[in-house]
Amino acid sequence: MPADLVIVANRLPVDRVPLPDGGWEWKPSPGGLVAALEPVMRANDGTWVGWPGGPVEDADPSELEPFDADGLHLVPVGLTAEEIELFYEGFANGTIWPIYHDLVAKPEFHREWWDSYVRVNEQYAAKAAEVAAEGATVWVHDYQLQLVPQMLRDLRPDLRIGFYLHIPFPPAELFAQLPWRRQILEGLLGADLVGFQLPGGAANFVRLVRQRVGYKTHRDLVYLPDGRTVRAAAFPISIDVAGFEELVHDESVRARAAAIREALGGPRKIFLGIDRLDYTKGIYARLRAYAELVEAGELDVEEAVFVQVAVPSRERVEQYRLLRDEIDRLVGRINGDLGRIGRPAISYLHNSYPRAEMAALYTAADIMVVTPFRDGMNLVAKEYVACRVHDDGALVLSEFAGAAAELRQAWLVNPYDINGMKAALLEAYHADEKDLTRRMKAMRRTIQRHDVAAWADSFLTELAEVAPHTKSPRQARGR
Ligand code: GDG
């Protein structure tokens, strides 16, 4: 059945999990994006196009057939082992990711990576063109698929196309290094609406289009020679606030939070970091800052502990393997030098956890530390705030996370400034209850007013306005 709403994202919202009998099944991987899009997907009988994970060489043909999971229609795009290496690990994560994150790592430019990026984007565009109904809305997501909007428009000029970038869009000076800069801008301009996390990203994009493609622009609009108008605007993403609050009120999550506190040494104050193990997240500098405070006697391992959860990520990419080794060594050295029996300075976990365990960790923590060098938004910061249903707990947050634009009452830090971070960690540690409550209340109001459903609604509403020539999807909530 052709779909009136099609989501195109690098990954499908499911994982293939092996069963004890040698078979396998699809298990939903409930991220924030699925939670946000599920209601509107259901209201429109929507279809999701994406990669199910793993190379096609290891898949049996039935895995690449469209299927339904949890009432969602899913259409797999198969990637070969070579495409995973060149398109995904290569161009997406070795070229675009570092450039878009302010060159925190050195990007690599390889023509064969680019060629694979083009070919894979073609596959996604072709699949989306195949499943979209006449005049449907197609919403393309993120940096892996920047060429899809124009490819799709060439195949299906009847569609209404939106694109959303989850990571930062860099200043012109950095973007200009890309040998394929013009093709990428033209790819994005295939959309009617290009969404960014922050107004700065949208402004960078419009300026680049003017400079590098030579189209006329006015404020957030780009005028194309074929008469089309493209709008670039900010839509800061959010989280399923009610979902997290519900989890925190669950008896088993509360019991688990108490057990975590107990296991960590009772009244010790808990600093917490939760990040994908990624060099943009600033894990190394943050742990160093903390260790210096312990070393200087400003913090005592009997009274405080830093829990760092580093979720395994992109483990086949060289820079990520090196980062893991560096952090392993740092944690080992810090605990060797500063820990006591049963009292490590840092409790380090290289693992991923169910959502309920994440909520228990957020509940157990006294001070959440989120210090990326650059981050599109950072949902972890918002999730922590959502879980503080008693208006307590402190948030130390990097100025360079998109979330800092909204969570102004956090202790905002420059992650490159170790002394500044040390001062903020101490201030948050010693803050009195009244100050914590005042800050947390304000931050909670902010995220409650703007949850992930509001984010999806505002993007789709805006998309309908900029492309009135096509028909609108039904809104999930009466508005
Ligand atoms: C990109 C942009 C932007 C993490 N570990 C576990 C787990 N998570 C969940 C968190 C959170 C999400 O993953 C991570 O989101 P972040 O925003 O923190 O970071 P990225 O992965 O880099 O995401 C970012 C985001 O896209 C959305 O637009 O904010 O800037 O880089 O929701 O809770 N979830 C579970 N177990 C884990 O171990 N269940």
Model confidence pLDDT, tens digit, residues 399-438: 999 999 999 999 999 999 999 999 999 999 999 999 999 9
Q: What is the mean pLDDT of the chain?
A: 93
- Rounded to a whole number, what is the largest CA-CA distance in the chain? 71
Please give the sequence-ordered ranges of beta strands (E in DSSP) within 432-474, or none if there are none.
none
When computed from its CA atoms, the radius of gyration of the chain, rounded to whole angstroms, is 23
Cβ 166 under 6 angstroms from ligand 1: yes
Q: Ligand 1 centroid to 314 CA: how many Å?
A: 14
Rounded (5°) CA angle 236-176-97 = 50
For the chain, give the percent of residues with pLDDT over 70: 97
237 lines ligand 1 (CB under 6 A): yes
Q: Residue 388's Cα: distance from chain center in Å?
A: 21
For Cα atoms 387, 388, 392, give the angle at the middle one, nearest 5 degrees.
165
Which atom, in ligand 1's list, is nearest to the CA of 239? 32
Q: How far apart are CA 170 and CA 388, in angstroms?
A: 33
How much is the average pLDDT of 63-68? 89
**Sheet arrangement for strand 221-223:** 67-69, 72-76, 47-51, 3-11, 132-141, 160-164, 193-196, 229-234, 221-223, 216-218
Query: What residue ranges do the domains of the chain occupy?
Result: 3-237+453-466, 241-448
Amino acid 23: pLDDT: 79
pLDDT of 470 over the 90 cut: no
- Please give the average per-residue pLDDT across 129-156, as a whole number: 97
**Is residue 390's pLDDT more than 70?**
yes
Both structure tokens of 446? 């902010």
CA 372 to ligand 1 centroid distance, Å: 12
Burial class (CB in 10 A: 0-12, 13-18, 19+), 30: middle
The pair of structure tokens assigned to 269 is 């104050």
- Whether 3-237+453-466 shares its CATH topology with 241-448 is answered yes
The residue behind tokens 């013009």 is: 182
Within 8 A by CB and 6+ apart from 50, the residues are 7, 8, 9, 10, 11, 12, 13, 74, 75, 76, 77, 124
- Please give the pLDDT value at position 31: 66
For 312, half-sphere exposure in the C-beta direction (CA atoms, 13 angstrom radius) is 6
pLDDT score at 183: 98
Tell which one of 378, 385, 395 to mutate to probe ligand 1, the residue whose CB is within 8 A of the most ligand atoms: 378
Q: Is the pLDDT of residue 479 over 50?
A: no
Q: Is 476 in the pocket of ligand 1 (CB under 6 A)?
A: no
Helix (H, G, I), strand (E, B) or coil at 20: coil
pLDDT for residue 477 is more than 50: no
pLDDT class for 474, splitting at 50, 70, 90? low
Q: If you search the block for the tokens 């009466």, which residue do you land on?
A: 478
Q: How would you label 361-388 residue by residue, b for 16+ Cβ within 10 Å and e otherwise? A: bbbbbbbbbbbbbbbbbbbbbbbbbbbb
pLDDT band, residue 7 (cuts 50/70/90): very high
Q: Give the range with max mean pLDDT: 31-40, 41-50, 85-94, 263-272.
A: 85-94
Per-residue pLDDT tens over the stretch 22-52: 877 888 776 667 777 877 887 778 999 999 9
135 Cα to the center of ligand 1, angstroms: 33
Q: How far apart are CA 458 and CA 439, in angstroms?
A: 27
SS percent in the chain: helix, strand, coil, step 5: 45, 20, 30
Distance CA 125, CA 230 (A): 19
What is the residue with the minimal CA distance to atom 30 of ligand 1? 376
Q: Which residue has the higher pLDDT, 54 or 231?
A: 231
DSSP 253: H
Torsion of Cα atoms, 93 then 5 then 60 then 87, to 10°: -20
The whole model's pTM is what? Answer: 0.95
Tell me, what's the pLDDT at 202? 98
Distance 393 CA to ligand 1 centre (A): 21
Q: Is the dihedral of CA 440, 442, 444, 447 positive or negative?
A: negative
pLDDT of residue 60: 79
CA distance 118 to 151: 10
Structure tokens at 38: 């599920």
Residue 148 and residue 49 in contact, taking contact as beta carbons nearer than 8 Å: no
Q: What is the DSSP string of 123-162?
A: HHHHHHHHHEEEEEEEEEESGGGTTHHHHHHHH-TT-EEE
Q: Which of 3.90.1200.10, 3.40.50.2000, 3.40.630.30, 3.30.9.10 would CATH assign to domain 241-448?
A: 3.40.50.2000
Identify the H or E element spanning 457: helix 452-466
Distance CA 377, CA 232 (A): 17
Q: Is 342 exposed, middle or buried (0-12, 13-18, 19+ CB in 10 A)?
A: exposed
Q: Outline where 12-147 has alpha helix (H).
A: 32-43, 81-83, 97-100, 111-131
Please tell me the predicted confidence (pLDDT) of residue 39.
75
Our answer on whether the CB atom of 356 is closer than 6 Å to any ligand 1 atom is: no
* Cα dist from 296 to 291, 332, 334, whole Å: 9, 18, 13
Tell me the pLDDT tens digit for each residue of 155-211. 999 999 999 999 999 999 999 999 999 999 999 999 999 999 999 999 999 999 999
283-308 tens-digit pLDDT: 999 999 999 999 999 999 999 999 99
For ligand 1, is residue 350 a contact (CB within 6 Å)?
no
Given 3.30.465.10, 3.40.50.2000, 3.90.1150.10, 1.20.1640.10, which CATH number is that of 3-237+453-466? 3.40.50.2000
